[in-house]
């Protein structure tokens, strides 16, 4: 069957974004609970965690108190923690607090979503990203850039792959250490993934690429498969499948860490993730937010669990 | 990007199984409501519908009154309706009622699930399938055979692909007009799909193949993509993503008709399905069963819907 997966990787990096994207649309949790959740996720074996966000507490109340949360977290050596930063001020705060392996800047591929998300046109936002990168450079902390709505914009519709990749090129020119393409509202499908990733490979082959899928329309795991076949080896995922931008109408959750790690494990692709610990963390999240998480595995358990005999 | 989809088909057949697999674990609906649902689905453009099941009403109360339901249905020319039949008696009843384009027999690939489902070992069930096929032959109605738990058995675990395909060969020898491989409890992943479908292609290339995925562990749509790449062109799906065997612990719903048709449409693969009508049918199902259906699209709407401007 090798003809169907010419380039399935042997190993995939999962970046856990539950403490950030996962929680940002939920009612705010206590600082202590957010810190304990990051610690629980640090014990799952994921190599990267997006831990906090230095966005405006007024705009995203659930992300308030980033510094307090981060101060409380018992950091685990070997886990690379990142912070989301919207602009120079956020970057400076993150750098002042310290301890992040990288900063994550963000911008949309189209004005529609960018306006809704940060109240500015894409061209204006680029200045913010330049500023973030200069802050990162000054303290030698790499800055990665997320391009949101990279597979479609809920306000504007389709986004030409060429525009996405040209924006990525500009961000790399400004010093982005890596690019994450965000399917913020679940508008990606496998053929679109092949198209955009193919163009990224052509133009930015040596730049680390992360994909960030939301399962708004049920395509997230198929998109992951498509991306694996196109050579992508890093994906964002959120414990329990929580997530969704408060500024994206009808946004569904991120691809669930446990669903993704389980599928990859069965396909012989290493992630280093201890599934039982992720499921434990998902249960913790459920009790914190007070409603069920959307992941499938949190209901079904892994395929190797046996039911009681017939 | 052609290298990643060497054989994506231009057209896919969706067989709607909502009235059967979708409803069988729900509290029984009124005969009239079940008939109206089949009619609503007949207007969606799906070419095939599994309409009723002649299993024991005691075993599966939601499937009682198959004849009464079927009698009430206003059939649509051009839609191929099938009935699920467990044994000779069921087949004879279906044939007596008449109007079905085919009968669907079923057997599990492993004793564990077969015992739970029909209380018999696989070898004993084969006699039932032979009897069903002889009934079909006597009135010239084709009988297709579903192999349940074809990608794993919740009681026994992994099922060797070779065993699945050997069983399929025997069923074809007995006269099965087509084979459906059922991932009854969502244990399939893309590499398993490639393996089993590859072996089917090797050994039974000229036998029509249908795949039936449940999204129990979040892999259903990725499995569809894998199967498309392996040349499969027919899939079962259930309106709203309802479904799950009452005899399969923790079974999740079928892949949702609207989620599947939507992804395929965006990939340029024709299904003939009118998505708005499927979404309408999903809303009807929700109001009938009194709880939300699990499909994503019934919450989000299609990707071409625009949100109000920023």
Q: What is the pLDDT of residues A43-52, one digit of tens each?
A: 999 999 999 9
If pLDDT is split at 50, 70 and 90, which confidence band does B247 have? Answer: confident
Contact B221 A219 (CB under 8 A): yes
Chain pair A-B, CB pairs under 8 angstroms = 167
Q: Is the pLDDT at B6 greater than 90, yes or no?
A: no
Contact B226 A230 (CB under 8 A): no
- Residue labelled with tokens 């036998």: B207
Q: Which of A97-101, A248-252, A292-296 has the lowest mean pLDDT?
A: A248-252
Q: Is the pLDDT at B134 greater than 80, yes or no?
A: yes
Pairing of strands B13-16, A234-237: unpaired
Q: Is the pLDDT at A6 greater than 70, yes or no?
A: no
Backbone angles phi, psi at A15, to 5 degrees: -100, 120
Which A positions 169-228 lie with beta carbon below 8 A of chain B? 186-187, 189-192, 194-195, 198, 215-219, 221-222, 224-226
Which A positions 151-170 lie with beta carbon below 8 A of chain B? 152, 154-157
Length reported for chain A: 310
Nearest-neighbour CA in chain A from B61: distance (Å): 20
Helix/strand/coil for B8: coil
Contact B217 A300 (CB under 8 A): yes
Which B positions 248-307 lie with beta carbon below 8 A of chain A? 248-250, 252, 256, 259, 262-263, 266-268, 295-297, 299-304, 306-307
Whole-number Cα distances in Å, A182 to A81, A188, A210, A220, B117: 19, 9, 9, 11, 43
pLDDT tens-place string over residues A81-107: 999 999 999 999 999 999 999 999 999
Q: Is the pLDDT at A249 greater than 90, yes or no?
A: no
pLDDT tens-place string over residues B140-164: 999 999 999 999 999 999 999 999 9
Which A positions 25-84 lie with beta carbon below 8 A of chain B? none
Complex ipTM, two decimals?
Answer: 0.96
* Cβ atoms A212, A17 nearer than 8 A: yes
**A239's tokens:** 């414990």
If pLDDT is split at 50, 70 and 90, which confidence band does A1 have? Answer: very low
Contact A303 B217 (CB under 8 A): yes
Contact A195 B1 (CB under 8 A): yes
Contact B222 A224 (CB under 8 A): yes
- Residue labelled with tokens 């989809």: B5
- Burial (CB < 10 A; 0-12, 13-18, 19+), residue B206, is exposed
Element (H, E) at B36: helix B31-42
pLDDT of residue B5: 55
pLDDT of residue A3: 53
Number of Cβ within 10 Å of residue A274's Cβ equals: 14
Contact B306 A155 (CB under 8 A): yes
Whole-number Cα distances in Å, A176 to A126, A146, A287, B10, B293: 12, 10, 37, 39, 42
Nearest-neighbour CA in chain B from A272: distance (Å): 19
* Cβ atoms A84, A20 nearer than 8 A: yes
pLDDT tens-place string over residues B115-128: 988 899 999 999 99
Q: Where are the alpha helices (DSSP H) in B106-189?
A: 111-118, 122-139, 161-173
DSSP B97: H
Question: Span B247-256, mean pLDDT?
Answer: 81
Question: Span B200-208, mean pLDDT?
Answer: 97
Claim: this prediction has a pTM higher than 0.90: yes
């Amino acid at each position: 069957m090798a003809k169907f997966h010419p380039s399935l990787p042997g190993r995939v990096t999962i970046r856990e974004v539950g403490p950030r994207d996962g929680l940002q649309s939920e009612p705010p949790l206590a600082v202590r609970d957010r810190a304990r959740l990051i610690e629980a996720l640090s014990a799952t074996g994921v190599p990267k965690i997006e831990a906090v966000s230095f966005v405006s507490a007024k705009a995203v109340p659930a992300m308030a108190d980033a510094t307090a949360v981060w101060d409380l977290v018992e950091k685990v050596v070997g886990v690379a923690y990142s912070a989301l930063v919207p602009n120079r001020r956020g970057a400076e705060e993150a750098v002042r607090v310290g301890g992040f392996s990288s900063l994550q800047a963000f911008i949309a591929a189209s004005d529609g979503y960018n306006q809704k998300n940060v109240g500015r046109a894409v061209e204006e936002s680029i200045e913010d990203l330049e500023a973030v990168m200069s802050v990162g450079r000054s303290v030698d902390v790499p800055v990665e850039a997320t391009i949101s709505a990279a597979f479609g914009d809920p306000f504007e519709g389709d986004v030409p792959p060429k525009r996405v990749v040209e924006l990525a090129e500009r961000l790399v020119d400004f010093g982005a250490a890596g690019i994450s393409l965000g399917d913020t509202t679940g508008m990606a499908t496998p053929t679109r993934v092949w198209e955009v990733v193919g163009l990224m490979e052509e133009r930015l082959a040596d730049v680390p690429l992360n994909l960030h899928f939301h399962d708004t329309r049920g395509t997230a795991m198929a998109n992951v498969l498509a991306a694996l076949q196109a050579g992508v080896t890093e994906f964002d995922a959120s414990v329990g499948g929580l997530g969704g931008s408060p500024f994206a109408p009808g946004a569904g959750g991120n691809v669930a860490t446990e669903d993704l790690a389980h599928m990859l494990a069965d396909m012989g692709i290493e992630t280093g993730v201890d599934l039982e610990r992720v499921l434990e963390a998902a249960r913790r999240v459920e009790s914190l937010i007070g409603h069920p998480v959307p992941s499938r595995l949190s209901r079904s358990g892994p395929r190797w669990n046996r039911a009681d005999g017939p």
